[in-house]
Structures are given as C-alpha cells and as structure tokens.
Structure 1
Amino acid sequence: MADSNFDRAVVFVIDHNEAGAVGLVLNDPRDDYLGQAIPIWDESRFADCTLFSGGPVDPFTSMALGEFRGSQDDNESLLFANIGVIDLGSGPNSIPDSVVNLRPYLGYSGWGPMQLEAELAANAWFVVEVHPDDIFGNEDVDLWSKVLRRQNSPVSWLSNYPSDPRLN
C-alpha cells in the first residue's frame, strides 16, 4: 500500500455497508494515555490505557474497542466474540461493569462507497480473520508479522519481509 498511513497496518473493519467502511488500525500506539488525551477519563479505571491512532480520518474522534465479560447474547452491539465498539465521548460513567478490557482510539480509517471494494480488487489489502488477542494483545509485538505468520497460505512468507528491503 502506497499510503504511509497504512504501512504494515493491521486494520479491523468495524462497519461496512453501501455508504462505505470504517476501520481501526490495531497496531499504531501513540505516546499518550486515555486519561491524558481526554480529561474526562483521567480518573477512570481505564485512564492508563495506551491510546492508539485508529487512522488518518478525523483525528479528534474518540472511540474504543471493549472486551465484555459474559455471553455474546447479552449484547447485540458486539462485533465478534465479546468485543464491541464503545463511544468514548459518552464518558467513563457510560461504560458497563462488564467491560474488562479497553483499547482506546483517536481517529479512524474510512472508505467511501465502493472504495474499499476497489482496493480489495486491486489486491491492496490482505483479508484475514481477526483474533481477540490481535486487539488486546501486547502492543509492542509486530502485529503485522504475527497476523501474516499464522496464515495457511503463501502470504505467510511476507511475515519476515523487512520494513525496508534496501537495508537487507
């Protein structure tokens, strides 16, 4: 992908319909924490969560992926497993006690109508299944390589491809 915003990015698509698509970059941690960046969160139980850049669109939009304890049937807004989207603008008092893990984001990745489909047709993206530990795993891990390495296809070979092949 030629866009430097998505160099080795692992993007989790959270909404896709006829109007376009929205996703969050899972592997772009920032140098600040939720409580530092959004003051209403500074005394919450999630204040020390590392903040991530979700993508280049609207860098002041805040949202999070939350891991919910309990049955998937208990929450219709879950994306998969026990993971759902949380609006950080609603403040910490809106977070149910069933949220056991939080990954906060500023900004998001967005595509207009049929834009993502065109990029997929041009083979600009690898489409793979997400695992819960991709979202809430160790942020220091090279997630791009980890995700590619677990694929049962030739794409797994790229997991060892250097960031800058000229230095190889």
Structure 2
Amino acid sequence: MVNPGPGILLIAEPFLKDPNFSRTVVFLCDHQDEGSFGFVINRVFGHTLNELMNDLDELKLPVFYGGPVQMDTIHFLHQYPDLIPGSYEVLDGIYWGGDFETAITLIKAGSIDTTKIRFFIGYSGWGSGQLNDELKEKSWLTAQATRKLVFHRKADEIWKESLKHLGGDYEMMANFPVDPQLN
C-alpha cells in the first residue's frame, strides 16, 4: 500500500457498504492535513455533457460521477497541459482542470482526442483526518495511478483492473461477490 497523495488511487475494499463508493476507484488530486479530494473514475453518470450544459449540443461525451460533493459542478482531467491553460499537474501526464472554454473549443475543433479528457459531475472530498481514518479502517486500498487506469476506455472494468494492478492476493478480490452472505 502506498500513502495517500496526489496521483494515488483509492480502491474501494470489496465489501465497502457506502453506496457512494461501493466498488469505486477514486483518483486523488490532493491530500493535505486540511482534507483531500479526488474523482470517482469508474462510475459513468446518467447524462452526457451536452445534456448537462447549454450550447454543447454536439458534445455527447460521457460524464462520470466524480463523487457526492457539489453535484452542481463539472470538473475534468486531461492530458493536454500545453493546450489547456491553467491546469494543475496531479501526476506525470495527468492534469486537473484549466480553462473550460478552451477545452470545449479544442474538442469542437477536433484538436484533442476525447479519450484523453474526462468530465466529472461533483467530486469526492474528505475533511481533516477523515481519509486517514477510513484508511485505518481498511475501507480503501491504495495504489499508484497510471494513465491507462485513469483514462481506461471501459469504466466498468477499472475496479477489477486496479485490483489486478496491485497483484498478489488482491487479484483474487476482483472476483469476490458484492455481498458474500448471498453466496
């Protein structure tokens, strides 16, 4: 297990009961004493970008459920720091935010590959010490993120792929039932 910090994946323990985070993978963007935040990267939201925002009729891009906090905000991760000003490097080759209008203009112009940008509604946040407490309770497994996992083309495979990425006994967890009592 690696310590939490920017660029770390929080992989929900197989039997985590919280419906907001059951079988999720969160990409941490920041982790400090005051709190932490990131985005659930493996749960597609029920609406596309054009359905959530005005004037984006042609942008039927998937939007991911970033987490239960501020569900009225749109965020994005991308791989285009030279094209999208104001972005923050979370991990080598993975950037958070930046100028939203520029990102949209580049997408409309076909200047960026839409598999290298991902939109989120809301985010996952933890107050001071909260994430550390959840880690002590073993609610989360931690692993170093990779671009392949963060921008994986099949969101429903990210949780299992993240466990496989950990290797060893964790690979077996990928096949555990959601509720072992129903087995």
- Bucket of the pairwise TM-score, normalised by the shorter protein: 0.7 to 0.9
Q: Aligned to 1:80, which of 91, 112, 137?
A: 91
Q: Does 1:144 align with 2:163?
A: no
User: TM-score normalised to the size of structure 2?
Assistant: 0.76
- Aligned equivalent of 2:101: 92
- Aligned equivalent of 1:65: 77
Paired residues for 1:12-27 under 5 Å? 12-27=27-42
Q: Which runs of 5+ in 2 are unaligned?
A: 1-15
Q: CA RMSD in A?
A: 2.5
Alpha-carbon distance between aligned partners in 2 of 1:159 and 1:96, rounded to the nearest angstrom: 39
Tell me the matched-pair count: 160
Alpha-carbon distance between aligned partners in 2 of 1:84 and 1:110, rounded to the nearest angstrom: 18
- Aligned equivalent of 2:18: 3
Change (3 A) 1:140 1:110: closer
Contact map agreement 1:12 1:25 (CA 8 A) in 2: yes
Partner SS for 2:173: helix
Contact map agreement 2:41 2:155 (CA 8 A) in 1: no
Q: Which runs of 5+ in 1 are unaligned?
A: none
Alpha-carbon distance between aligned partners in 1 of 2:79 and 2:112, rounded to the nearest angstrom: 6
Partner SS for 1:103: strand
Alpha-carbon distance between aligned partners in 1 of 2:90 and 2:31, rounded to the nearest angstrom: 12
- Aligned equivalent of 1:164: 179
Partner SS for 1:39: coil
- Return structure 1 stretches of 4+ with deviation > 4 angstroms: 94-99
Please give the per-residue CA displacement for 1:106-134, whole angstroms capped at 9, x wherever unaligned.
11111000110111112110001111121
User: TM-score normalised to the size of structure 1?
Assistant: 0.82
Identity value in percent: 29
Please give the per-residue CA displacement for 1:79-98, whole angstroms capped at 9, x wherever unaligned.
112111125xx543356858
Alpha-carbon distance between aligned partners in 1 of 2:125 and 2:57, rounded to the nearest angstrom: 28
Partner SS for 1:36: helix
- The residue type paired with residue 11 of structure 1 is V
